[in-house]
Amino acid sequence: MSDVNHWRRVVLWWLGTSIVATLLVVLFLAPILPPGNGSVEASGQVVDNTVLLGISTPIAMAVLVYFIYALIVFRERDTTAVLDGPAIRGDARIQTWWLVVTTGIVLFLAGYGTVRMLADGAGGGQGPNPIAKPAGAARALQVQVIAQQWKFTYRWPSYGGVETATLELPSNRMIEFHVTSLDVIHSFWAYQLGVKADANPGFDNVAYVTTKGPLTFDIHCAELCGVWHGYMFEKGRVVRPNQFSAWITQQRAQNVPATKSLPPYSKQYFPDPQRRGG
């Protein structure tokens, strides 16, 4: 069989398997991957994962199909042969196409990632001055996430600087998280919201998220921060706006003594070096 016929077979097998595999991955696998659809940003991450899987599946199938075809068709059939098979020579045309296709894919993904980041802002935090802010960021509700061994607390500059032990957010609202730490390096991970931002002492790390409907979400510390790191997790809630208003009013009322004793609101806190660092 000529080389042309071999390549025609490989291409046909690759097309058939790629179409089937890509449809299965894009329609059934990608939509159920983390982090889900708990926020606009989380849904965007699912879309991004779908795009990446849709592109990588045909590439993976090309490698597998060629490997299996070569294993079956080009295997040595003479069981008594002790010599190596014939030398394999390079093909400039294949190498050229491989370079063109892979370069095009890399450039496309670089452009796609840049556009998505600039459009949606940062779910993972971009420091105190994000270069990518989503539309409407000026009207976002600010929430400061304060990490410490071994608990997250939350301060609300729009509500008198009250600090709460739990996190509730209004639905269908853009939130501007300001993530910082009082002692060591932590990481604020609101799983179903698609938010993960480092909490560093003396540093303000901004992350945006736009909530959807009512939801209970998991909050974890994703940075080894001491002996009780594994217990630094809790639940947060997205609730209807009227429920949030009632909750924050209650928090302000019951925390009046503590709020009076707190230092003025600041976007970063510098820890006392004498504090525990376990």
pLDDT at 246: 96
In words, the CATH class of domain 137-261 is mainly beta
Strands 233-239 and 168-170: parallel
Question: Which bin fits 127, alpha (ψ -120 to 50), beta or left (φ > 0)?
Answer: left
- Residue 117, judged by CB atoms within 10 A of its CB (0-12, 13-18, 19+), counts as middle
Whole-angstrom distance, CA of residue 198 vs CA of residue 210? 19
Q: Cα dist. 272→29, 90, 188, 202 in Å? A: 48, 64, 21, 11
Residue 1 confidence class, pLDDT cut points 50, 70, 90: low
| 3 has a pLDDT exceeding 80 | no
Would you call 64 helix, strand, or coil by DSSP?
helix
- Mean pLDDT calculated for residue range 124-142: 81
Lowest-confidence region among 124-133, 146-155, 164-173, 234-243: 124-133
Look at residue 151 in the predicted model and tell me its pLDDT. Answer: 94
Query: What's the pLDDT tens digit per position in 196-210?
Result: 999 998 899 999 999
Q: What is the pLDDT of residue 116?
A: 81
Alpha-helix residue ranges (DSSP H) falling in 74-189? 92-120
Average pLDDT of span 172-189:
93
Does 191 have pLDDT greater than 80? yes
pLDDT digits (tens, 9 = 90+) for 66-80: 899 888 887 766 666
Q: What is the pLDDT of residue 39?
A: 92
